[in-house]
Amino acid sequence: MTNREITTLMHRLFPGGLGPTDYVHLMVEGGLDRARFGALLDSYIPGDELLIFVDRNHCAFSNREQAFEFVRDFMEHGRVRIADPRFQGRVIIEPMGVGTGTHLPVK
């Protein structure tokens, strides 16, 4: 998937925030913690494929194994939005090191 395709999908299907939700701390000793990050993803996104997006220059189509490195690098550029390709689960990670997520209702 190209950066343009990721950008188009994220702008159309994940345009802003998630509304009022509870945030969890993801940082340990000044850095993004792999275990906490993985637990947050597991809570909201069941599949292995992920769309990771900050802006058109900082986005990726990734699997779970590679996602940690992308997110860690992208956090310095702004709010990181993560979704599965069907947009059934969404996660936001703020640059300060907190994150939250939501599920879309199954119909």
Q: Write down the domain spans for the chain.
A: 3-103
Using one digit for the tens of pLDDT, what is the confidence trace for 18-57? 777 789 999 999 999 999 999 999 999 988 999 999 999 9
pLDDT category, 15, cuts 50, 70, 90?
Answer: confident
The closest of 67, 65, 64, 49 to 9, measured between CA atoms, is: 49
Residue 9 has which token pair?
């999908």
pTM (predicted TM-score): 0.90
- Residue-by-residue DSSP string for 21-67: ---EE-EETTEE-HHHHHHHHHHH--SSEEEEEEETTEEEEEEHHHH
Residue 45 has which token pair?
């996104």
pLDDT attached to residue 105: 60
Which amino acid, residue 67? A
pLDDT category, 60, cuts 50, 70, 90?
Answer: very high
Which amino acid, residue 14? F
Using one digit for the tens of pLDDT, what is the confidence trace for 67-89? 999 999 999 999 999 999 988 99
- Decide: 47 and 81 in contact? Cβ < 8 Å: no
pLDDT attached to residue 81: 96
What average pLDDT does range 4-15 have in this prediction? 87
Evaluate if residue 16 carries a pLDDT over 80.
no
Residue 22 φ/ψ region, left for φ over 0, alpha for ψ in the -120 to 50 degree band, beta for the rest:
beta
The angle formed by the CA atoms of residues 20, 11 and 101, to the nearest 5 degrees, is: 30
